[in-house]
Amino acid sequence: MNTTIDINFKVTPSQKKTIILRASENGFDDISAYLKVVALKTQTFTLSPVDVSKEETSVELTFKVSQAQKEQIEEKMKESDTQDLSTYLAYVALHGVVTAIVEVRSTGNLDAMLQRIAKSRNLSL
């Protein structure tokens, strides 16, 4: 049985705007997909102090994961010496950068690779 779990956490309205910007900067059209990727793929880090906002944390963000993925996120949270899942998720959503390894396929031609990427996104070069 493949069940999914909703993970919810709250942020301020201005943090949500920043998270949407980060998702867009990293090439994500869907904020939920961005949240899942940064939660699962962010390397261990040391949480640095964040400016205290006078805004209320009233915006709820949600994404779906499997039980195994939830356990992986909780393990990354512990490795980063963070005790609270909401704090961890807000931090990675605000500061996470998605890294990708670009691979030039057998053609060895960078332009051909860029054309394949554009085609997969339904763009034209």
Instruction: Give SS3 for 51.
Output: coil
Model confidence pLDDT, tens digit, residues 5-29:
999 999 999 999 999 988 888 778 8
Confidence of residue 100 (pLDDT cuts 50, 70, 90): very low
Confidence of residue 80 (pLDDT cuts 50, 70, 90): confident
Residue with tokens 């005790």: 83
Please say if the pLDDT value at position 101 is more than 50: no
Please say if the pLDDT value at position 62 is more than 70: yes
Whether 31 is covered by a domain: the verdict is yes
Whether 87 is covered by a domain: the verdict is yes
Q: Please give the tally of structural domains in the chain.
A: 1
Model confidence pLDDT, tens digit, residues 41-53:
877 776 666 665 6
Whether 124 is covered by a domain: the verdict is no
Whether 77 is covered by a domain: the verdict is yes
Residue numbers of the domain that contains 24 = 5-99
**Model pTM?**
0.64
Confidence of residue 92 (pLDDT cuts 50, 70, 90): confident
Ramachandran sector of residue 122 (left: φ over 0; alpha: ψ -120 to 50; beta: rest): left
The pLDDT assigned to 105 comes to 47
Whether 104 is covered by a domain: the verdict is no
Confidence of residue 3 (pLDDT cuts 50, 70, 90): confident
Whether 60 is covered by a domain: the verdict is yes
Whether 120 is covered by a domain: the verdict is no
DSSP code of residue 12? -
Strand ranges (E), the chain: 5-11, 59-65
For a pLDDT cut of 90, what percent of the chain falls above it?
28
Instruction: Give SS3 for 64.
Output: strand
The pLDDT assigned to 113 comes to 66
In angstroms, the CA 41 to CA 93 distance is 11
Whether 118 is covered by a domain: the verdict is no
